[in-house]
Amino acid sequence: MIPAKRRKLGAPAAGPVADVIRFPHVAVFLLEKRMGASRRAFLTGLARSKGFRLEDSYSPAVTHVVSEKNSGDEVQAWLETQTPAGDADRSVHLLNMTWFTESMAAGHPVKIESRHRLQVKAKSGPSAVTNTMGAYACQRKTPLEHHNAVLTDALLLLAENADFCTNEGRSVAFKRAASVLKALPGPVRRMEELQGLPCLGEHCQRVIKEILEHGASSEVEMTRHSEHYQAMKALTGIFGVGVKTAEQWHRAGIRHPADLVSSEHKLNRAQRAGVEYYEHLRVPVTKAEADRIGEIVKRAVDAVLLGAEITLTGGFRRGKQTGHDVDFLITHPDEGREEGLLPKVVSWLEARDLLLYQKTNKNSYLEAKEWPARPPSNMDRFERCFSIFKLQRPWAALEEPPQSGERGAAETPGWKAVRVDLVVTPVSQFAFALLGWTGSQLFERDLRRWAGQKGMSLSSHALYDCEQKRYLRATSEEEIFAHLGLEYIPPGERNA
């Protein structure tokens, strides 16, 4: 017998072609919840090797949903979030793992018996819960003001702490649960009201239940007052500092930006600016201040390129009245006219002593080399300027640069440091950039996930159909939603 390692390196043995579908009328979907991704992948490979048809994602083609360690009610609730409107009565077999293992042993789909079926309680009476919310944030409207702030604030604090611990999976789970609660039409008062809602895992439900019953969560309060959480929140609040750097500083005994002043830690240019203007930047920016900065940016843009357009994006476009930074998209109706614009705008601003810090990145996006050769990314590559503005108070005249010898804002009490991002986009990519830079972060993440489920790839530059192998053009956000088969959701209801 040839050793296993040598068999892997040698030529494959003669035999039937792997993964030939022998039972095309039976389309099986394995529900990953509580099963785990690795076990699901193993079982999928096993079934396909035996000729079974296994679907990677749920679709109307699925005939058998197999679950492990989930109740029939849980699977039915999940199924309702996946079923398109008008298709709710389509027959799908909800089965436990026994049917699957027996079918694997038999080498064919065994006859479904009552012991194989998951039991689903009949819903009747006026008190029955009928939650049919979509599982993706881009499927539902999420207003800025909602009815469950106490619950969502708690979950988002745990999400933030998970980010500080570099546990992205847990962070996203908390954010998705909070997003679902934000979209509810009224306040949650009983756990029964959450039945059938997506994205509410056991951990999130424990937190919600404790708050509903006792007014607070012990886990949330312990996290809020923990030394690690408070230090990481302060350190990541420094402009130019990410979680990894903050964690390194924390291990070295740094707890607050002030500690860096007397420490021997070497800071890069952005971090030095972040420490210097920390007290300014930790104060929220108001919508009125964002509008004032917009007037300055508009004046700068007009001075170097007439006809260029600027658009306020981010949380302010979603209706927020305060934020931590201000983002602007800049474009021109004539494709190509925007090239070389940003350095001139930055020079205009610097000449008037309006920038305390700036770093400009060139455009590195080239459509011809993106898909399918390049894997999709949520990071765009537009020409961009990360800056700290010096916003004068009261409003200052901007027509003339400061005279030689004059000091800037560092010695002037009548100013405020504000984080501002300037992003330049060709008009052909503007709709995608506007969608991507409007947010919210979770809304955009789920948009990309939804596109992937549809065989497409979405970024802030373009939408690519991987099956048709072509770009899907759009001149408005509405067109992008239409390409994705989604109802258009206006900016003010994307606060997921």
Which residues form the catalytic set? 325, 327, 421
**404-435 residues labelled b (16+ CB within 10 A) or e (exposed):** eeeeebeeeeebbbbbbbbbbbbbbbbbbbbb
Which H helix or E strand runs over 332? none
User: Residue 286 contacts by C-beta under 8 Å, 6 or more apart in sequence?
Assistant: 321, 322
What are the tokens at 16? 């039937």
The single-letter code of the amino acid at 67 is: S
Classify the phi-psi angles of 449: left when phi > 0, otherwise alpha if psi is within -120 to 50, otherwise beta: alpha
Q: Minimal CA–CA distance to 154: which of 201, 205, 115? A: 205
Dump strand ranges (E) for 154-289: 285-286
Is 33:78 a contact under the CB 8 Å cutoff? yes
User: Residue 43 contacts by C-beta under 8 Å, 6 or more apart in sequence?
Assistant: 30, 35, 100
How far apart, in whole angstroms, are the C-alpha atoms of residue 227 and residue 66?
44
Q: Minimal CA–CA distance to 186: which of 138, 237, 143, 126? A: 143
How far apart, in whole angstroms, are the C-alpha atoms of residue 166 and residue 470?
36
Q: Tokens 């809020």 belong to which residue?
A: 224
Distances 84 to 66, 139, 305, 493 between C-alpha atoms, Å: 20, 11, 48, 21
How far apart, in whole angstroms, are the C-alpha atoms of residue 138 and residue 445?
9
Distances 12 to 7, 371, 406 between C-alpha atoms, Å: 8, 32, 78
Classify the phi-psi angles of 312: left when phi > 0, otherwise alpha if psi is within -120 to 50, otherwise beta: beta
User: Computed from CA positions of residues 59, 63, 69, 72, in that sequence, does the dihedral angle turn out positive or negative?
Assistant: positive
Helix residue ranges per DSSP H, 4-84: 4-9, 37-49, 72-82
- DSSP symbol at 410: G
How far apart, in whole angstroms, are the C-alpha atoms of residue 457 and residue 449?
9
Greatest CA separation for the chain: 89
Q: Minimal CA–CA distance to 387: which of 300, 260, 318, 459? A: 300
- 422, β-bridge pairs: 328, 385
